[in-house]
């Protein structure tokens, strides 16, 4: 009996200590995950402009969503961004990583230079690129006209603007993916290249038959990370174009932000956020399925 009491007491003490140890995470979770999640769920069935009391509207927010062409446009734009950004990111990052991996001199300096945009504030980078992209007096168009080429409407043509933003986002983020590819490249055993070289494989064949297949796990990780980053596209269109021209750069996150903080439609924004989260979930599940298939194969 005495032994049981001792065990119970020690368990209790241990529980209490454990509870205190995890409490920072618990508090964080309750404040920044559970509470916003529950509150957002409640908001979906209300109209609330922050200022006046919440008003129950039932499924009205969902009715509006399905009749709102701008939401679907913003989802479409986000996918356009992903379609341009992810392949571009992979091609540029991989090319630079291969070059940096083979460089013998000043390797560290170049790595630092390519990583620099990653640590610079997104707003600063965006304002800088806004000056580069300016139609009449931007650096890029001034250069183009000086060599006799026509100006490109980088940010003022609805067909070009999202691609321009994707190029800028690639420049901003490529450093981190270069590092990831470099890590991947350095884990490939040198013996594979030596063996292939003895068998007569040239550099091109070595790249396509050794480097690329061996980088597959890194590639998958980069696709997943780029997808997640792409879905949260916000700063670039917010600062550069405000979502224009003709909503061609209006990302889903920017549209949700506009509804919440520009028009004060908190309930509708929560509904948009919920549906957008479902879409992301579907894409992530699809990717997971592809990754699992890859592992099995």
152 in contact with another protein (CB under 8 A): no
Closer residue to another protein (CB): 218 or 259: 259
> Which residue in 78, 247, 249, 271 binds another protein (CB under 8 A)?
247
**264 lies in the site for another protein, by CB under 8 A:** yes
Cβ 246 to another protein shortest distance, Å: 5
Minimum distance, C-beta of residue 262 to another protein, in the bound complex (Å): 8
Kindly state the smallest distance separating residue 265's Cβ from another protein, in Å.
8
Long-range contacts: 66-72, Cβ < 8 Å, 24+? Answer: 70/247, 70/250, 70/255, 71/252, 71/255, 71/272, 71/275
For every residue of 131-199, DSSP letters joined together read: HHH-TTT-HHHHHHHHTTPPP--TTTSTTTHHHHHHHHHHHHHHHHHHHHHHHHHHTS-HHHHHHHHHT
Other C-beta atoms closer than 10 Å to the C-beta of 179 total: 17
| # binding residues, another protein (CB under 8 A) | 31
Q: List, in sequence order, every residue forming a beta bridge with 55; answer none if it has no partner.
A: 47
Q: Does 64 bind another protein (CB under 8 A)?
A: yes
Residues pairing with 47 in the sheet: 55
Burial of 52 (0-12, 13-18, 19+ CB in 10 A): exposed
Stretch binding another protein (CB under 8 A), from 35-43, 134-142, 171-179, 188-196: 134-142
Using rule CB under 8 A, residue 156 touches another protein: yes
CB neighbour list of residue 100: distance below 8 Å, 6 or more residues apart: 107, 110, 111, 114, 178, 182
Q: Of residues 49, 194, 292, 294, which one binds another protein by CB under 8 A?
A: 49
Nearer to another protein, 217 or 242 (CB): 242
**Contact string 225-244 vs another protein (x = CB under 8 A):** -----------------xxx
Nearer to another protein, 138 or 175 (CB): 138
Contact map string, positions 70 to 99, toward another protein, x by CB under 8 A: x-----------------------------
Q: How far is the CB of 67 from another protein (least distance, A)?
A: 6
Q: Is 107 in the site for another protein (CB under 8 A)?
A: no
SS3 7: helix
Residues whose CB is less than 8 angstroms from the CB of residue 112 and which lie 6 or more positions away in sequence, other chains included: none
Nearest to 89 by CA among 194, 197, 225, 184: 225
Q: Which residue has the tokens 């490939």?
A: 188
Name the residue nearer to another protein (CB basis): 107 or 151: 151
What's the token pair of residue 287? 């990717």
Positions touching another protein (CB under 8 A) are 47, 49-52, 60, 63-64, 67-70, 134-137, 145, 153, 156, 158, 242-247, 262-265, 268
């Amino acid at each position: 009996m005495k032994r049981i009491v001792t065990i119970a007491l020690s368990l209790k003490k241990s529980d209490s200590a454990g509870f205190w140890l995890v409490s920072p995470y618990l508090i964080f979770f309750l404040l920044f995950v559970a509470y916003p999640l529950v509150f957002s769920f409640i908001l979906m069935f209300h109209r609330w402009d922050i200022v006046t009391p919440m008003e129950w509207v039932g499924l009205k927010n969902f009715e509006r969503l399905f009749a709102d062409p701008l939401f679907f446009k913003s989802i479409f734009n986000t996918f356009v961004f992903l379609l341009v950004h992810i392949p571009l990111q992979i091609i540029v990052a991989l090319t630079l990583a291969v070059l940096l991996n083979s460089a013998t001199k000043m390797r560290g300096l170049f790595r630092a230079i390519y990583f620099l945009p990653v640590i610079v504030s997104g707003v600063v980078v965006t304002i800088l690129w806004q000056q580069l992209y300016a139609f009449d007096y931007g650096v890029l168009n001034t250069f183009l006209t000086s060599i006799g080429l026509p100006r490109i409407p980088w940010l003022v043509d609805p067909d070009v603007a999202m691609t321009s933003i994707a190029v800028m986002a690639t420049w901003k983020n490529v450093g981190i993916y270069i590092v990831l590819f470099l890590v991947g490249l350095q884990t490939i055993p040198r013996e594979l290249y030596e063996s292939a070289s003895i068998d007569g494989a040239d550099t091109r064949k070595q790249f396509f038959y050794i480097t690329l297949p061996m980088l597959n796990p890194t590639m998958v990780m980069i696709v997943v990370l780029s997808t997640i980053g792409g879905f949260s596209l916000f700063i670039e269109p917010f600062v550069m174009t405000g979502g224009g021209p003709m909503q061609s750069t209006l990302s889903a996150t920017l549209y949700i932000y506009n509804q919440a903080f520009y028009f004060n439609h908190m309930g509708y924004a929560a509904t948009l956020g919920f549906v957008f989260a479902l879409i992301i979930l579907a894409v992530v599940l699809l990717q997971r399925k592809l990754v699992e298939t890859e592992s099995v194969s």
